[in-house]
Amino acid sequence: MPSFYHINAQGMNRFKTVTNLIVTIVLLYTSNIFAQFADPILIESNTGLITNIITADLNNDNLEDIIIIKKFSTNSLISYYLNLGDLNFGPETTIATGNSQVTNIALGDFDHNNWVDIVSIGDASNAVTLHMNNALSFTSEIIDTFSFFESDIAVSDIDNDNDLDIIAIGGSTFKVYSNDGSADFTSQTVTGPIEDFFDITIGDINADGFTDVITGGSNISVYKNNNGNFSYDDELSSQIPNTFNLFVRLKDIDNDGDLDLFSEDNNSTGVRWMKNDGEGNFSNLQLIDPTALNIRSGALQDFDNDNDLDFIIIKDFNLYLYTNDGFGNFSAPTHVQDTETIISTIAAADFNNDGRADIVWSADLSIQENTFPLSHTDYVNPSDFINIYPNPTSKIVFVDSPQEGTLSIFNSKGQVVYNHIVLKQGINELNTELSPETYIFKIDLKPNISLTKKVIIK
C-alpha cells in the first residue's frame, strides 16, 4: 500500500480564491440548458461516410483526439484528427485503408509502451486487426478471422493479469483474445445461444472484480466472467426484455455505485434503462422516451456538471439531450442540434480541458463546446491548483494540494486501484507500487470540488 509523508503546508489562499470564483460564477449564471452548447465548429465537410467516432489521447499531450471510422470507404477506413488545443484540430491522418468494412474499433495499450493502440473488426474481411501505436506510427496485423456480418469489439483486462485483452462478437460468434502482455494473443470461443450479435458493453455487474459482458442484438444476453472465463447466464439474461436492441450500455444511471443497463427499447424506437441490484440482477425497467425514433447513436456523460449521467441521442437524425436528476429520472428532451446534413454518429469528450463534456458528430464532422455555467461542483484546472510531479514517474509521486482531501487512483480500464487515500494540505509524498501504465488520479476537495489528472507510471 502507498504511504504519504506530509512535508509542508501551503496553498490555502489559492483554494480560497478558487472557492470565491466558483461562488461568483454561480451567482452570475443560471442553468439554461437551451444555450448549453455553442455553435458547431466545422472540422471537415463532406464526411457523410463516417460511421463511428471514438475519442482518445493518441499522442500523449493530454488532449483528446478524434478517431473516425468509415465503414464503406476504401481510401480511409480508420483515421484521426489530432487535437491542437483551443478546439482546433489538425488534418485527417489515415491509419488503415482497404475494403475490410471496419464496423468498430476499441482502444488500449496492448504492449505497455504508453501509446494507445487500436483493434478493429471488419465485416468484409471478417478480420480482427491490431493497429499498434509507436509514437503515432501505426503498424497493422490481422490476429484472427471468422465468418460474421455485423460485429463489435471491446477491450478489458478480463483475467486481471494487468494487460488488456480483447472481446469480439460477430454473427453468432463470441470470441475472447487473451494477451500475454506483449500483444501476442490466444483466442477462445465462448459458447452461448445462437443469435445475431450487434452491440457489446462491458463492466463488472456483480462487484466480484471481473469484467462481465452484455451483448445486444436479436437478444440481450449476459455473459458472466468467472476468473477470466466467460459463460452465458440464462437466469440473468431472462430478466431483460428482448425486443431487438442494437444499442446497449452499462452505466451507473442512479448513482448507487453499480452498473445499470441503458438501451434502446425496440429496434431503434424508444430509450430505456434497468436498475442493477448490485449482484447483476436487472429489474424495474423504466421507459425514458417511447417516442424516440431512428436512434442511431448516443453519448452518456455528465453534461450539466451535477455528478450524474445525462445522455444525448440521435433520433430522427438530430441531437436531443436528456438530463438526469441523479436518481435515474430524466427530463423531457431538449433539442441540441438540427443540421442540413444527416447526423449519423456522436461522441462526447472534454476537448478543451475545462471539465465539461463537449460533443463531436458527423456529418459534417463538427464539434460543439459545452458552455454550461460553472456550479458548486465545478471542475478546477488541476494544472493551476493541484501539482502532481514528476510525471511520468517510476515510483515516487508528489501531490501538492491546496487543502486536505482524498485521492483515488484508477487504472486505464477505470478500475479502482486505491480509494480515498487521505491528503494533507501541502506536499504529499506517495510511494507507489503501481504497475507501469497510465492512471487517473482523482482528487476530492471541499466544498465538492473534484480534480482529475492523468499520471504515467514507467
Compute the average pLDDT of residues 142-150. Answer: 88
Structural domains for the chain: 42-368 (2.130.10.130), 387-457 (2.60.40.3080)
7/286: higher pLDDT: 286
Each residue's pLDDT tens digit, 197-210: 889 999 999 999 99
Q: In the predicted model, what is the mean pLDDT of the chain? A: 86
Angle at 449 between CA 446 and CA 454, to 5 degrees: 125
Give the model's pLDDT for residue 19. 40
Percent of all residues in the chain with a pLDDT value above 90, rounded to a whole number: 59
Name the least confident of 89-93, 244-248, 275-279.
244-248
pTM for the model stands at: 0.77
Give the model's pLDDT for residue 426. 84
Give the model's pLDDT for residue 447. 59
Each residue's pLDDT tens digit, 380-411: 454 456 788 888 888 788 898 888 888 988 88
Burial 354-381 (b: 16+ CB within 10 A, else e): ebbbbbbbbbbbbbbbbebbbbeebbbe
Neighbours of 162 (CB within 10 A): 14
Give the model's pLDDT for residue 448. 60
Give the model's pLDDT for residue 267. 83
Those residues whose C-beta lies under 8 Å from the C-beta of residue 428, and which sit 6 or more positions away, are 4, 5, 6, 7, 398, 399, 400, 401
Name the least confident of 140-149, 289-298, 344-353, 434-443.
434-443
Give the model's pLDDT for residue 38. 95
Compute the average pLDDT of residues 320-338. Answer: 94
* pLDDT at position 449 over 80: no
* pLDDT at position 3 over 50: no
Strand order across the beta sheet in which 426-431 lies: 4-6, 426-431, 396-401, 387-389
Which of the residue ranges 297-306, 405-414, 419-428 has the most confident prediction, judged by mean pLDDT?
297-306
* pLDDT at position 356 over 70: yes
Grid coordinates standing for 329? 429520472
**pLDDT grade for 32, boundaries at 50, 70 and 90:** very low
Give the model's pLDDT for residue 374. 59
**Contact status, residue 439 vs residue 412, Cβ threshold 8 Å:** yes
* Closest alpha carbon to 370 in 325, 337, 339: 337
* pLDDT at position 442 over 80: yes
3-state secondary structure of 388: strand
* pLDDT at position 104 over 90: yes
Angle at 384 between CA 380 and CA 388, to 5 degrees: 100
Give the model's pLDDT for residue 233. 96
By residue count, the chain amounts to 458
Each residue's pLDDT tens digit, 245-255: 889 999 999 98
315/24: higher pLDDT: 315
Each residue's pLDDT tens digit, 116-128: 999 999 988 889 9
110/9: higher pLDDT: 110
What is the rounded CA–CA span in Å between residue 290 and residue 407? Answer: 41
Those residues whose C-beta lies under 8 Å from the C-beta of residue 74, and which sit 6 or more positions away, are 97, 98, 99
3-state secondary structure of 120: strand
3-state secondary structure of 245: coil
Compute the average pLDDT of residues 360-373. Answer: 94
DSSP H helices in 332-420 = 382-385
What is the rounded CA–CA span in Å between residue 199 and residue 216? Answer: 5
3-state secondary structure of 438: strand
Give the model's pLDDT for residue 177. 98
Give the model's pLDDT for residue 8. 40
Name the least confident of 222-236, 404-418, 442-456.
442-456
382/217: higher pLDDT: 217
**pLDDT grade for 98, boundaries at 50, 70 and 90:** confident
Each residue's pLDDT tens digit, 34-85: 458 999 999 999 999 999 999 999 999 999 999 999 999 988 899 999 999 9
Compute the average pLDDT of residues 151-173. Answer: 94
Each residue's pLDDT tens digit, 332-347: 999 998 888 899 999 9
Percent of all residues in the chain with a pLDDT value above 70, rounded to a whole number: 88
